[in-house]
Amino acid sequence: MTSDSSSSVLILGAFSDIGRALARSYAAAGRSLILAARYSDRLTRDAEDLRLRHGIRVDLVEFDMLETAGHSAFFDSLSALPSTVISVVGLLGDQARAAGDAVLAEHVMRSNYLAPALVLGEAANRMALRGSGVIIGISSVAGERGRASNYLYGSAKAGFTQFLSGLRNRLAPIGVHVLTVKPGFVDTRMTQGMKLPPLLTAQPEEVSAAILAAEAKRRDTIYVRPVWWLIMALIRALPERIFKRLKL
């Protein structure tokens, strides 16, 4: 890998639709890439295209975020700490099945909170020693209030959002910036088959463009489509006696 980390971006979960869109957006901006995925060979064609199209360095690395004991060794294996680390890893899961299966429930929770928080915490500690860097975590509007239809996923995203908030508060005085991203509905493989409202549903390229712009502006938290801010404010404001009667 390149020893120059001044403009490098590490994307964790790079094979996801949003991860691949992020790679294209950052490559177009001239940033070198480290694409991390459980089966990184599936990104070989993408990497070659980005190298040829944008003249940047693209490295592929194997990484399973759920193997939390290996997070430190993973960062040790990089020849330089990237300037930006983005976690795109997440799992919607099946709420109905997971509610009755502790193993499935744990998998949803680990995928959306524990593993992403631990890996970004590892990156944060290293960036804190360096005194610079950007950490970006993709959370969800689902974490703003627990709903019967996805409370396992939502509870994990709520924890991740609060983790990022605390990390931002801790690192701001020493020059490390933390960005929380709440995309709302996104048209990806994870939501395939779901009936999503077009006005509330972003494309992966829209998400990646919003993240790139938010990093440049040093934003703290963004809703990819601003209408989600209003929607979630209304949902949060509902009295519990009314909210618990709704089917959301």
- CA distance linking residue 180 with residue 16, whole number of Å: 18
- CA distance linking residue 158 with residue 178, whole number of Å: 16
Q: How many residues does the chain have?
A: 248
What angle do helix axes 44-54 and 17-28 make, rounded to 10 degrees?
20
Token code pair at residue 43: 């990104």
The torsion defined by the Cα of 28, 32, 35 and 36, in degrees rounded to 10, comes to: -150
- CA distance linking residue 78 with residue 72, whole number of Å: 10
> Of these residues, 26, 39, 113, 153, which one is catalytic?
153
Token code pair at residue 233: 């404010």
- CA distance linking residue 204 with residue 153, whole number of Å: 20
Q: Is 115 helix (H, G, I), strand (E, B) or coil?
A: helix
**Extended strands (E) in 90-242:** 133-138, 176-182, 185-186, 201-202, 221-223
- CA distance linking residue 160 with residue 210, whole number of Å: 20
- CA distance linking residue 45 with residue 68, whole number of Å: 28
- Tell me, yes or no, if 153 is annotated catalytic: yes
* Burial class of residue 2, CB neighbours in 10 A (0-12, 13-18, 19+): middle
Task: Name the residues annotated as catalytic.
Answer: 153
